Amino acid sequence: MGEFAGAAFGFPGLLLTAAFAAVIGFWALVLCRVVAPDAFDGDVDSETLGIAGAPVAAAASVAVGAGWALHLTGTVLLGRAGLPGAWFLLLSMALLPCALALSWLLTRRLFGRRRRVSPSDAHRCASGSALPAPDSARTAV
Protein backbone atom coordinates (compact mmCIF):
# COMPACT_ATOMS: atom_id res chain seq x y z
CA MET A 1 0.00 0.00 0.00
CA GLY A 2 2.93 2.30 0.65
CA GLU A 3 4.16 1.93 -2.92
CA PHE A 4 0.75 2.85 -4.26
CA ALA A 5 0.39 5.89 -1.99
CA GLY A 6 3.92 7.00 -2.81
CA ALA A 7 3.23 6.70 -6.54
CA ALA A 8 -0.14 8.45 -6.29
CA PHE A 9 0.91 11.35 -4.06
CA GLY A 10 4.56 11.75 -5.03
CA PHE A 11 5.99 13.84 -7.83
CA PRO A 12 4.89 13.71 -10.73
CA GLY A 13 2.00 11.33 -10.01
CA LEU A 14 0.26 13.95 -7.90
CA LEU A 15 -0.65 15.82 -11.10
CA LEU A 16 -2.70 12.91 -12.40
CA THR A 17 -4.09 12.16 -8.94
CA ALA A 18 -5.46 15.71 -8.77
CA ALA A 19 -6.96 15.35 -12.25
CA PHE A 20 -8.51 12.01 -11.27
CA ALA A 21 -9.96 13.59 -8.11
CA ALA A 22 -11.52 16.30 -10.32
CA VAL A 23 -13.07 13.59 -12.53
CA ILE A 24 -14.53 11.86 -9.48
CA GLY A 25 -15.84 15.20 -8.21
CA PHE A 26 -17.46 15.96 -11.57
CA TRP A 27 -19.26 12.62 -11.69
CA ALA A 28 -20.36 13.07 -8.06
CA LEU A 29 -21.93 16.39 -9.10
CA VAL A 30 -23.58 14.64 -12.04
CA LEU A 31 -25.04 12.02 -9.68
CA CYS A 32 -26.38 14.82 -7.44
CA ARG A 33 -27.89 16.45 -10.56
CA VAL A 34 -25.95 19.67 -10.04
CA VAL A 35 -24.22 19.38 -13.44
CA ALA A 36 -25.42 17.79 -16.66
CA PRO A 37 -23.20 14.99 -18.02
CA ASP A 38 -23.09 16.73 -21.40
CA ALA A 39 -22.08 20.10 -19.93
CA PHE A 40 -18.86 20.27 -21.95
CA ASP A 41 -20.18 18.96 -25.27
CA GLY A 42 -20.92 22.43 -26.66
CA ASP A 43 -17.50 23.82 -25.71
CA VAL A 44 -15.29 21.20 -27.37
CA ASP A 45 -15.15 20.10 -31.00
CA SER A 46 -15.23 16.34 -30.51
CA GLU A 47 -14.81 15.74 -34.26
CA THR A 48 -11.35 17.33 -34.17
CA LEU A 49 -10.37 15.28 -31.12
CA GLY A 50 -11.33 12.05 -32.87
CA ILE A 51 -14.15 11.16 -30.49
CA ALA A 52 -17.04 12.26 -32.67
CA GLY A 53 -20.43 11.50 -31.21
CA ALA A 54 -19.12 10.56 -27.77
CA PRO A 55 -19.77 12.69 -24.70
CA VAL A 56 -16.69 14.77 -24.01
CA ALA A 57 -16.90 14.31 -20.24
CA ALA A 58 -16.99 10.53 -20.60
CA ALA A 59 -14.03 10.45 -23.00
CA ALA A 60 -12.00 12.82 -20.81
CA SER A 61 -12.83 10.75 -17.74
CA VAL A 62 -11.65 7.56 -19.42
CA ALA A 63 -8.46 9.27 -20.63
CA VAL A 64 -7.62 10.66 -17.17
CA GLY A 65 -8.49 7.40 -15.40
CA ALA A 66 -6.47 5.27 -17.81
CA GLY A 67 -3.53 7.70 -17.65
CA TRP A 68 -3.64 7.67 -13.87
CA ALA A 69 -3.72 3.86 -13.73
CA LEU A 70 -0.94 3.49 -16.31
CA HIS A 71 1.28 6.02 -14.53
CA LEU A 72 0.74 4.42 -11.12
CA THR A 73 1.49 0.97 -12.49
CA GLY A 74 4.61 2.21 -14.25
CA THR A 75 5.83 4.10 -11.18
CA VAL A 76 5.39 1.07 -8.91
CA LEU A 77 7.24 -1.10 -11.44
CA LEU A 78 10.04 1.47 -11.67
CA GLY A 79 10.26 1.54 -7.88
CA ARG A 80 10.61 -2.23 -7.77
CA ALA A 81 13.36 -2.13 -10.39
CA GLY A 82 15.76 -0.69 -7.80
CA LEU A 83 17.00 2.20 -9.91
CA PRO A 84 19.12 4.96 -8.36
CA GLY A 85 17.20 8.12 -7.33
CA ALA A 86 18.16 10.28 -10.34
CA TRP A 87 17.26 7.58 -12.87
CA PHE A 88 14.01 6.83 -11.08
CA LEU A 89 12.99 10.51 -11.12
CA LEU A 90 13.97 10.95 -14.76
CA LEU A 91 12.10 7.84 -15.91
CA SER A 92 9.12 8.68 -13.71
CA MET A 93 8.88 12.12 -15.30
CA ALA A 94 9.16 10.58 -18.78
CA LEU A 95 6.46 8.08 -17.81
CA LEU A 96 3.88 10.84 -17.28
CA PRO A 97 3.60 12.01 -20.92
CA CYS A 98 3.90 8.41 -22.14
CA ALA A 99 1.01 7.29 -19.90
CA LEU A 100 -1.11 10.25 -21.03
CA ALA A 101 -0.37 9.60 -24.70
CA LEU A 102 -1.18 5.91 -24.39
CA SER A 103 -4.37 6.64 -22.46
CA TRP A 104 -5.47 9.12 -25.14
CA LEU A 105 -4.83 6.53 -27.85
CA LEU A 106 -6.89 4.00 -25.90
CA THR A 107 -9.65 6.56 -25.43
CA ARG A 108 -9.73 7.43 -29.12
CA ARG A 109 -9.87 3.73 -29.93
CA LEU A 110 -12.74 3.23 -27.49
CA PHE A 111 -14.73 6.35 -28.39
CA GLY A 112 -13.37 6.81 -31.91
CA ARG A 113 -15.20 7.42 -35.09
CA ARG A 114 -18.00 4.98 -35.48
CA ARG A 115 -19.13 3.68 -38.81
CA ARG A 116 -22.22 5.54 -39.80
CA VAL A 117 -25.13 3.25 -40.55
CA SER A 118 -27.28 4.15 -43.50
CA PRO A 119 -31.03 3.50 -43.33
CA SER A 120 -30.72 0.67 -45.84
CA ASP A 121 -28.04 -1.01 -43.68
CA ALA A 122 -30.14 -0.61 -40.55
CA HIS A 123 -32.58 -3.28 -41.74
CA ARG A 124 -29.95 -5.96 -42.25
CA CYS A 125 -29.46 -8.71 -39.73
CA ALA A 126 -26.19 -10.35 -38.79
CA SER A 127 -26.43 -13.01 -41.50
CA GLY A 128 -26.63 -10.36 -44.19
CA SER A 129 -30.20 -11.03 -45.25
CA ALA A 130 -32.51 -8.07 -45.43
CA LEU A 131 -35.31 -7.80 -42.90
CA PRO A 132 -38.71 -6.57 -44.02
CA ALA A 133 -39.28 -2.87 -43.64
CA PRO A 134 -41.11 -1.98 -40.44
CA ASP A 135 -44.09 -0.48 -42.29
CA SER A 136 -44.64 -3.43 -44.62
CA ALA A 137 -47.54 -5.74 -43.78
CA ARG A 138 -47.20 -9.47 -43.91
CA THR A 139 -49.83 -11.44 -45.72
CA ALA A 140 -51.03 -14.82 -44.56
CA VAL A 141 -50.92 -17.64 -47.07
pLDDT one digit per residue (tens) for the chain, 141 residues: 788 888 888 888 889 999 999 999 999 999 999 988 887 777 777 676 777 777 888 888 999 999 999 999 998 998 888 888 888 888 888 999 999 999 999 998 888 755 444 455 445 544 455 545 555 455 554
Per the document, the length of the chain is: 141
Furthest CA-CA distance within the chain: 83
pLDDT value of residue 125: 47
pTM over 0.75: no
